[in-house]
């Protein structure tokens, strides 16, 4: 991703591909929870997410999921510096989940199956040197295709996308919904979906990027993350990593 802001294919063809992808290569969730669940996750995490974000969760006895694209480690971006290997190791040692986000932040909607598999292999090798084996995945840019679902569904217990929703009975674990804590209304949107998940006794996955006092358009403030975690706990949610959530609904 580097310092540029890339946008997934917004053409009619891209929209139709994503719509068709929702109909095929499905892996239905089996959801029957005693209480709702929520996951706090961070995509291609900047250092701020590994520091401020992790501190907020750990102060409450919680752990998050960090979707790592190892090829970005230590690079600068519009989020600030990406996490490096030391950051990733520290997160893992603290009990956070290190998950997969491809190696190069590949657009899995445009790439073919061979390119996707190769990039995933490269990320797996990079994380293997840190003694980490990811079991869940998030599509970079949220872009997806039937081929991507097919090749990735064989490797991961959960494939997380970006369309809004909760994971309830029958939801597709190969194209799971998620809600971003990002932008000026990110906190309000996330709060609304927490209420929906509580009403449905479902699993909600929240995600963001940087966690800073002056965040990017794709991040949130520490105060917003604190309020959301506190609201989830006060509302009776169980806070789980993506891996634990996937295990519960497989």
237: pLDDT strictly greater than 50: yes
Let me know how long the chain is: 250
* CB contact burial 181-194 (16+ within 10 A = b; e otherwise): bbeeebbebbbebb
Q: What is the mean pLDDT of the chain?
A: 94
Query: How far apart (Å, rounded) are the C-alpha atoms in residues 205 and 178?
Result: 5
What's the pLDDT tens digit per position in 18-48?
A: 777 888 999 999 999 999 999 999 999 999 9
Q: What is the pTM of this model?
A: 0.94
Percent of the chain with pLDDT over 70: 95
3: pLDDT strictly greater than 50: no
Which residue reads 């990733």 in tokens?
A: 88
What's the pLDDT tens digit per position in 189-227?
A: 999 999 999 999 999 999 999 999 999 999 999 999 999
Query: How far apart (Å, rounded) are the C-alpha atoms in residues 95 and 134?
Result: 13
Residues 6+ apart with CB under 8 A from 130: 85, 88, 89, 92, 98
Query: How far apart (Å, rounded) are the C-alpha atoms in residues 20 and 146?
Result: 8
> Selecting from 3.20.20.370, 3.40.50.12780, 3.50.50.60, 3.30.300.30, what CATH number does the domain 12-249 have?
3.20.20.370
Nearest to 55 by CA among 212, 236, 237, 182: 212
Cα torsion angle, 189, 231, 39, 74, sign: positive
Domain ranges of the chain: 12-249
């Amino acid at each position: 991703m580097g310092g540029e802001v890339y946008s997934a294919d917004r053409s009619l063809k891209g929209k139709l591909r994503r719509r068709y992808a929702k109909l095929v290569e499905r892996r239905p969730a089996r959801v029957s929870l005693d209480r709702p669940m929520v996951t706090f996750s961070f995509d291609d995490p900047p250092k701020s997410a590994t520091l401020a974000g992790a501190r907020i969760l750990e102060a409450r006895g919680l752990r998050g999921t960090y979707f790592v694209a190892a090829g970005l480690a230590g690079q600068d971006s519009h989020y600030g510096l990406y996490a490096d290997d030391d950051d990733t190791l520290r997160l893992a040692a603290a009990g956070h989940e290190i998950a997969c986000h491809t190696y190069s932040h590949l657009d899995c909607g445009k790439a073919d199956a061979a390119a996707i598999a190769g990039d995933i292999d490269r990320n797996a090798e990079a994380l293997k040197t840190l003694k980490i084996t990811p079991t869940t995945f998030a599509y970079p840019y949220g872009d997806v295709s039937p081929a991507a679902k097919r090749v990735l569904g064989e490797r991961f217990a959960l494939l997380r996308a970006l369309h809004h929703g909760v994971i309830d009975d029958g939801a597709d674990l190969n194209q799971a919904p998620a809600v971003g804590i990002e932008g000026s209304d990110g906190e309000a949107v996330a709060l609304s979906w927490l209420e929906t998940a509580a009403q449905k006794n479902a699993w909600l996955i929240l995600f963001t990027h940087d966690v800073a006092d002056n965040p990017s358009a794709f991040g949130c403030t520490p105060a917003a993350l604190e309020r959301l975690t506190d609201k989830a706990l006060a509302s009776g949610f169980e806070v789980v990593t993506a891996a634990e959530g996937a295990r519960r609904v497989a």
